[in-house]
Structure 1
Amino acid sequence: MKGTKSDKKADTKLSVKKTAKGKTAKDPNKPKRPAGPFFIFMEGFRKQFKEDNPNNKSVAAVGKAGGAAWKAMSDADKQPYVDKAEKRKKDYEKTLASYNKKLVSGGDNDDDSDKSKSEVNDEDDEEGSEEDEDEE
Structure 2
Amino acid sequence: MKGGRSKAETKATDSKLSVKRGAPSEKAGRKPAKKGKAAKDPNKPKRPASAFFVFMEEFRKQYKEKHPNNKSVAAVGKAGGDKWKSLSDAEKAPFAAKAEKRKTEYNKQIAAYNKRMAEGPADEDESDKSRSEVNDEDEEEGSGEEEEED
Give me the TM-score of the superposition, normalised by structure 1.
0.63
Give 2:73's aligned residue: 59
* 2:50 paired with 1:36: yes
The match for 2:40 is 26
**Unaligned stretches of 5+ residues in structure 2:** 1-13, 25-32, 125-150
Q: Distance in 1 between matches of 2:41 and 2:91?
A: 37
Distance 2:39 2:113 in 1: 17
Which has more helix, going by share of residues?
1
Look up the SS of the partner of 1:99 in the other structure.
helix
User: Which amino acid in 2 is paired with 1:73?
Assistant: L
* Greater relative contact order structure (CA < 8 Å, 6+ sep): 1
The answer to whether the aligner puts 1:103 opposite 2:131 as a matched pair is: no
Residue-by-residue CA offset, 1:52-106 (whole Å, 9 max, x unaligned):
0011111111001000100000000000000000000000000000000011122
Q: Read off the aligned partner of 1:29 and give its amino acid letter.
A: N
User: What is the count of residue pairs matched by the alignment?
Assistant: 96
Going from structure 1 to structure 2, the CA distance change for 1:22 and 1:57 (only over 3 Å counts) comes to closer
CA distance, structure 2, for counterparts of residue 23 and residue 42 of structure 1: 30
In structure 1, what is the Cα distance between the partners aligned to 2:69 and 2:34?
A: 41
Residues 9-40 of structure 1, C-alpha deviations (whole Å, 9 max, x = no match): xx99xxxxxx6744321111000000000000
Name which one, 1 or 2, has greater alpha-carbon Rg: 2
CA RMSD of aligned residues (A): 2.5
- What residue in structure 1 maps to residue 27 of structure 2? none
